[in-house]
Structure 1
Amino acid sequence: MIIAKSPVRLSFGGGGTDLPAYYEEHGGAVLSVTIDKYFHTVLQEIPGREIEISSSDYQLHQRIADLDQANLKDALRIPKAMLRHFGIRSGVLLQLKSDIPPGSGLGLSGAVATSLARALGAYAGQALDKAQVAELATHIELTVLGRPIGMQDQYASAHGGLNFLTFDASGTRVEPVALARERLTELRAHLMLFHTGSSRDSARILEGQRQATSGRDQSVLDALHRVKETAHRMREIVTTGDIPSIGRLLHESWQQKKRFSSKVSNPEIDRYYETAMANGALGGKITGAGGGGFLLVFADPSAHTGISRELTALGLQELDFDFEDGGSQITLDSAGRFKATITPEGYLLGMRAVVSRLDKRQIGRIAQLLHEAYEADKQVFIMGNGGSAATASHFCSDLAKTVAVNGRRGFRAIPLTDNIPLMTAWGNDVGFEDIFSGQLRNLLNAGDVVIGISGGGMSPNVIKAMELARERGARTVGLTGFAGGRLKDVAEECFIVPSENCQFIEDVHMMLVHLLTSVVRERLAGDQGIG
């Protein structure tokens, strides 16, 4: 499994001057910062010749037998183009999820493209740097897909942080703007974001702007020149000037931006903006191309409570956010190692990808095996090391107590992990690989169940105990991950979590404990006719 994340961006000034129709002749400039709202890509190998793409944002899941023939539209055009670029045509599941709604004006499509470039590039064995990720994402969106959008989103998302981006016919340059932490904190403290509850089609708005620019509409060109000038002034102020004056420049820039197209604003947006200004805002704008999405408000922190109260009363939702400077990153590599700070959403999405590939029929078989052992009054022994030892103890507790229904007994479940004196005696006097098998020699009978838990399936003490169990005629169940290790060869049923990450493997093992306990308990209740 590979997990990648890419941040969205918040543009302060210069938006619109990053379109080729403008910058190829006049040069463009944008001041922007990335925020801690991400687009996540989870890539997982799957058996077979299909590609599977699952999008939480659009509530869709597609299985694609032939990528070239697939008629993918809208949200899935970028994944399709990126898969084709890397020559990946089968055996992959992509799970996609954003922290913000589509059509938000925060450069989400750029984050989609950079996140996919990161994940698929890593899968293809290509270690892309930030500039290469940005260039590839831009190529896919603008050249391959022909989207009439600007250049800033992909570069901002790939690089991360506060940057001054310039554009001309020779290319795009990213210049990080270094600020002292105190000054960056002051800038953040003045900002508020509110979702208007509506999305917009940025491509349609930007296409109108492109046509006006190409047609040399002087009103639009003058507005773009002013917006570019504002970006330069903002850059100077943010480094050496009075931070609150950025709010006034935002206000000036918003007035110019509304000249780009009649679709940039509307009476409802004007009402939101005027409400913010009436309650102490110094300036603001609708993010991105305009028309909907998020309203950025710049105000002294003392005015935030009142602005928030008035805008939420109008139905807007405030977004809590902070700046980030990591850019597009691999958070979990193919070896199961966390490479960067993973967000809760990214972790849970990774877990969701693992859980979606579990063998439900095998879970049923293991539950049936336990049910049969209960009915035959057999013992259940469970073992593991480290985190797996904790899971083994928990599993025994649930089997002994939680499954008991209507006054009947629970399982005769024995955790081989809990008798510390006996384990240390075996370990000290004989060897650590004997701490479980030594206990089983005195207790195990034919038909009993022995469950071995090992994340990698290679724990010598677990393997030795499982081999003894088979010799004694016991039934054996293994819980593991990775490729199953040696455990898969010595267990009657070996449940392999499809992951190379130990945290995910241990999480699923604990989930499986609760699932098996619940299933067996319900079967026992059904045996007694309990509803």
Structure 2
Amino acid sequence: MIITRTPFRISFFGGGTDYPGWYREHGGAVLATTINKYCYITCRRLPPFFDHKHRIVYSHIENVGSNDEIKHPAVKAVLNWMQVSEGLEVHHDGDLPARSGLGSSSSFTVGLMHALHALNGRMIGKENLASDAIHVEQNVIGENVGSQDQVSAAFGGFNRIEFHCNDAFDVAPVILPKMRRDELHSHLLLCFTGFSRIASEVAKSKIDNLKAREKELKLMRAMVDEAIALLQDVDEPIESFGKLLDASWQYKRSLSDRVSTPEIDQIYNAAMDAGAIGGKILGAGGGGFLLLFAKPERHAAIKERLSRLIHVPFEFEDSGSRVVLYQPNGL
């Protein structure tokens, strides 16, 4: 039996420039961190004593006789792409709901691929794991997804990720004094809006609009390095990061009329009225998790104002996708 643990992520700046349709022409960059909320994949070989070949357990249970009968798109795609012929039992457990803007779909794909490699006695490097997950999601499944989530899930940590025109990427950890990193963390609030969305559908509306939003996307990419510079300048008030988040959110809202909704705008404006400095809907938009930036002394007032939302405490994490149980013989 193999169990992998793969983190979810929070993306601060540069989202949208990680779509191949953008970075293959212009290059792209994002600033993102993984958090201590995880996707767990349990995988074992299934003995040939059952009527089914594979058993896939997630929000549904699938007992199927072949790869092509699998309904879960990522499981079906990964098993076919990795040419899995033996029977498997795969279980998924997640700390937070799917389709919520934290890169959970990519964490699932990365975690499953990691588990299957381990089951076959192979170690796979973080770069190859991320690249393979990007290929499967974008080319095999055909999802309208960017490339940052797979990289964050595989590598872990607080990183500047740069995407090159030739599909290569570089991962550079953002080096900060512990006091500054703690200061940033203390200003962040993570709230679940209560409604999910199909990220691929929202993303497609943004992808279709990339050429018309060239100015906004270039500004959003520039904010990546601006944010890193102000974080590394310990004399710069940390509130500047929050103001930059707000500016980035306004640009992101303009990428498609599906990024925000009247309900999201109402929640965001209520948080700002209660003392937030900035924030954004995470992921493609349209729902899911809202990240807010505010002075710690304003957090209680914001939580009270948004009392119908679920508030999720979190920590930064640095490990990326890991095999946390390795018992290839089931012992």
TM-score range, shorter chain: over 0.9
CA-to-partner distance for each residue in 1:54-82, whole Å, 9 max, x for gaps? 00xx2x11112111x3152xxx1111111
Aligned residues: 325
Give deviations 1:315-336, integer Å, cap 9, x for gaps: 211011111000000000125x
Correspondence 1:53 to 2:48: no
Shift in Å, 1:238: 1.8
In structure 2, the partner of 1:379 is none
The CA deviation at 1:85 is 2.6
CA offset at residue 86 of structure 1? 2.6
Equivalent positions of 1:80-91 (< 5 A) are 80-91=76-87
1:299 corresponds to 2:294: yes
Q: Which runs of at least 4 in structure 1 moved beyond 6 Å after TM superposition? A: none
1:394-473 pair list within 5 angstroms? none
Separation in structure 2 between the aligned mates of residue 71 and residue 121 of structure 1, nearest angstrom: 20
- Equivalent residue number for residue 268 of structure 1: 263
Q: Counterpart amino acid of 1:6?
A: T
Pair 1:70 & 2:78 matched: no
Distance in 2, Cα, partners of 1:254 & 1:144: 31
The aligned counterpart of 2:189 is: 192
Secondary structure of 1:109 counterpart? helix
Identity within the alignment, %: 38
Match in the other structure for 2:116: 120
Point out where structure 2 has 5 or more consecutive residues left out of the alignment. Answer: none
Corresponding residue number in structure 2 for 1:466: none
C-alpha offsets along residues 131-154 of structure 1, whole Å, 9 cap, x if unaligned? 111111111101111111101000
- 8 Å contact 1:86–1:124 — kept in the other structure? no
Pick from 221, 242, 250: which aligns with 1:247? Answer: 242
C-alpha distance in 2 between matches for 1:279 and 1:130 = 41
CA distance in 2, matches of 1:160, 1:178: 14
1:207 corresponds, among 181, 204, 207, to: 204
- Call closer, same or farther: CA 1:71–1:328 in 2, change over 3 Å: closer
Q: Which residue of 2 aligns with 1:136?
A: 132
Instruction: For 1:288 and 1:66, locate their aligned partners in 2 and report how far apart those are by CA, in whole Å.
Output: 33
Query: Comparing both chains, which one has the higher relative contact order based on Cα–Cα distances under 8 Å and sequence gaps of 6 or more?
Result: 2
User: For the residues of structure 2 that align with 1:23 and 1:255, how far apart are their CA atoms?
Assistant: 21
Q: Which amino acid aligns with 1:198?
A: F
Give the TM-score normalised by the residue count of structure 2.
Answer: 0.95
Tell me what 1:284 maps to: 279
What is the CA–CA distance in structure 2 between the aligned matches of 1:90 and 1:25, rounded to whole Å? 41
Deviations along 1:242-297, one digit per CA (max 9) or x if unpaired, are: 32210000000001111000011111111110111111111000111111001110
Whether the 8 Å contact between 2:32 and 2:158 is mirrored in structure 1 is yes
Question: Which structure is larger by alpha-carbon Rg, 1 or 2?
Answer: 1
State the superposition RMSD in angstroms: 1.3
Q: Is the 8 A contact 2:45 2:86 kept in 1?
A: no
- 2:1 matched to 1:4? no
Q: Secondary structure of the equivalent of 2:306?
A: helix
List alignment gaps of at least 5 residues for structure 1. 336-481, 483-498, 501-531
* 8 A Cα contact 1:86 1:121, kept in partner: no
Separation in 2, partners of 1:53, 1:310 = 41
Paired with 1:329 and 1:140, the residues of 2 have a C-alpha distance of 20
State whether structure 2 residue 25 is matched by structure 1 residue 25.
yes
